Amino acid sequence: MTRKEKAAHIQVILDDLYPEVPVPLDHKDPYTLLVAVLLSAQCTDIRVNQVTPALFELADNPYDMAERQVEDIKQIIRPCGLSPRKSKAISDLSQILIDKHDGKVPQSFEALEELPGVGHKTASVVMSQAFGVPAFPVDTHIHRLAHRWMLSKAKNVEQTERDLKKIFPREHWNKLHLQIIFFGREYCPARGHKPTECPICSLYGRRSMF
């Protein structure tokens, strides 16, 4: 069986289990999604969703956020970790959005990745979930599952992303990204994983890894 054939079967399993997948980070527009994704670095989505209501009460748009003290932002987002760096990035990117993009989140990978604290994965999430542009954001969790399912032998998330884009249809990338995240949490965790009980690993898993 080729990787594309395996990927097609895995997609059938994912579609059956998760016909609809919500964006796990609470947000109301591209700006609040951008901030939430930035906060999610080395932090759980649950924790981010616990923190963002207070943050967005303080400011939920770049104009208001740019006027807030970095220290005030830092105190609110402290539970997310890396608060000194993240608070400065939120403040700085808000000002850049005002100065360069009329207060709006830009709709291009290049412009997003120029913003402080925004890497390729964050830009991919915003492009896919806020603007519907095909993207396949790969974090360490998806990287791990791609190895476990023998869909990629890549050593880093960048190459894993390229591998997954080659074997899954472009029009399904945005949904698949979320489906794999939800599947990993429910059936295929990093610890305590039971391959024989996993709907995918029981068929295709590399049981000796991760």
Residue 140 is which amino acid?
T
Distance CA 108, CA 106 (A): 6
φ and ψ at residue 206, rounded to 5 degrees:
-95, 90
165 among known catalytic residues: no
Q: Which of 133, 134, 126, 111 is nearest to 31 (CA)?
A: 126
Of the residues 139, 153, 165, 194, only one is catalytic, namely 139
Distance CA 30, CA 142 (A): 23
Distance CA 19, CA 91 (A): 37
Q: Is residue 150 a contact partner of residue 204, using CB atoms and an 8 Å limit? A: yes
Under DSSP, is residue 164 helix (H, G, I), strand (E, B) or coil? Answer: helix
Q: Which of 160, 131, 166, 132 is nearest to 148 (CA)?
A: 160
**H helix intervals, 59-131:** 62-67, 70-77, 83-101, 109-113, 120-131
Contacts of 44 (CB under 8 A, 6+ apart): none
139 among known catalytic residues: yes
Of the residues 16, 26, 121, 153, only one is catalytic, namely 121
Question: Which residues are part of the catalytic machinery?
Answer: 121, 139
